[in-house]
Amino acid sequence: SQQGEEDPQALSIQEGENATMNCSYKTSINNLQWYRQNSGRGLVHLILIRSNEREKHSGRLRVTLDTSKKSSSLLITASRAADTASYFCAHSSTNDYKLSFGAGTTVTVRA
């Protein structure tokens, strides 16, 4: 399977804390992306990191990519209740045209 894997499956933190989730994949990639899904809603793109990049920031989000380990991490700093959602990584392999998603990490931020 070309699906990615995410870790942990679920995460519960206090407002103001940081949340870190990891993603692994098996193929060579063109890019890796992170998405957020609020309950009952569609997925929303957060950040895209290319295979030749190692780190990227967007607001309170920080994404790292280690192509030698075939892994990525998403860090959300100073979490807020509104960050409660499922977070998915998705990778675009070099040998096909599809974006393959991981199983997601469910993040709950407690007020």
Nearer to another protein, 21 or 90 (CB): 90
94 binds another protein (CB under 8 A): yes
Number of residues that bind another protein (CB under 8 A): 27
Nearer to another protein, 71 or 92 (CB): 92
Nearer to another protein, 40 or 68 (CB): 40
7-11 own/partner pairs: CB under 8 Å, 24+ apart = 7/105, 8/105, 9/103, 9/104, 9/105, 9/106, 10/105, 10/106, 10/107, 10/108, 11/105, 11/106, 11/107, 11/108
103 binds another protein (CB under 8 A): yes
92 binds another protein (CB under 8 A): yes
Q: Which of 79, 86, 107, 109 binds another protein (CB under 8 A)?
A: 86
Q: Taken in order 41, 42, 46, 52, is the CA torsion positive or negative?
A: positive
